[in-house]
Amino acid sequence: MDARKPSSPSPATPPLDARLTEQRNPRSMRIDQLSSLEIVDLINNEDRLVAAAVSEERLQIARAIDLVVDCLGRGGRLVYVGAGTSGRLGVLDASEMPPTYRTHPDMVQGVMAGGYEALLRAQEGAEDHPGDGAAAMDDRNVDRRDFVLGIAASGTTPYVHGALARARERGARTGFLLCTYPSEELLQSHDVVIAPLVGPEVVTGSTRMKAGTATKMVLNMISTGAMVRTGKVYGNLMVDLQVTCQKLQDRGERILMETLGVDRPEATRLLDASGGHVKTAIVMWRSGVDAAEARRRLEQSGGSISGA
């Protein structure tokens, strides 16, 4: 039996809603009578279940990484689509790619029901319009090179379904990330479905909690895995970072000191000569070439330091 499919509920106690995200958690039924410390312990114990639930979806997450890598290799994009907490987490993950991995802002995108305003102030009604989700895919000219990942803890958000349906019509590959049992239709409709079953929330339906934590963990794995696979990490160092602030200047210098065995002044000189790009600086030092030649070699090697 598929572990991700629900077992038949007892006829004596039929659930009012079959979605796990809407079930009541028997362990938190008396949370309103607990002390502050007891509430902390209860939430912490529930959060311990999240990593195990995500681990159960490891094969699906790896499949998603492979899809993203393939699409990026063909000049495509990773596009997250969501509403509410799910949408905000997608936008957050996308927004962290350029400063961390020096990606073009268009390479990883977060699409949010309700747009920018919904990031700052909840606009719950925005999620009810599938046509708006479809229009968002048209606006971004989604095509067969792209991978679009819908994020909806409950699995039912109309905006997300509308976006994914249009993305498929436009030839894109699609995936779905949810925290309840996926329907057979969902499994058949998408290239990958990721469903970490974290169980009912401490506060019924508050999916910003365990479901939100699981979502963040999965998105971290997908985007990080894709960046590693596309040559933006050397060992476990983020060598494709571009220096844009003092913190990144210090990190860039330390990476060069670690990988090249140079002192701080030489690391500073190399970083300045490379235009503030760590990967270029490494190739310059190891190959004895200038910044222009190092960039040319990196471009030819698809961004691989070893290849350059």
Instruction: Cite the active site residues.
Output: 96, 127
Beta bridge partners of 149: 80, 175
Quote the distance between the C-alpha of residue 288 and its chain's center: 37
| CA–CA separation, 139 and 163 (whole Å) | 11
Determine the longest span between alpha carbons in the chain, in angstroms.
76
| CA–CA separation, 110 and 223 (whole Å) | 12
> Which candidate, 67, 53, 1, 9, places its Cα nearest to that of 230?
67
| Residue 145 main-chain phi, psi, to 5 deg | -85, -10
Q: How many CA atoms lie within 13 A of 307 on its CB side?
A: 13
| CA–CA separation, 6 and 90 (whole Å) | 27
Contact predicate 87/111, CB 8 Å = yes
| CA–CA separation, 180 and 119 (whole Å) | 24
Quote the distance between the C-alpha of residue 162 and its chain's center: 20
> Which candidate, 105, 122, 104, places its Cα nearest to that of 113?
122
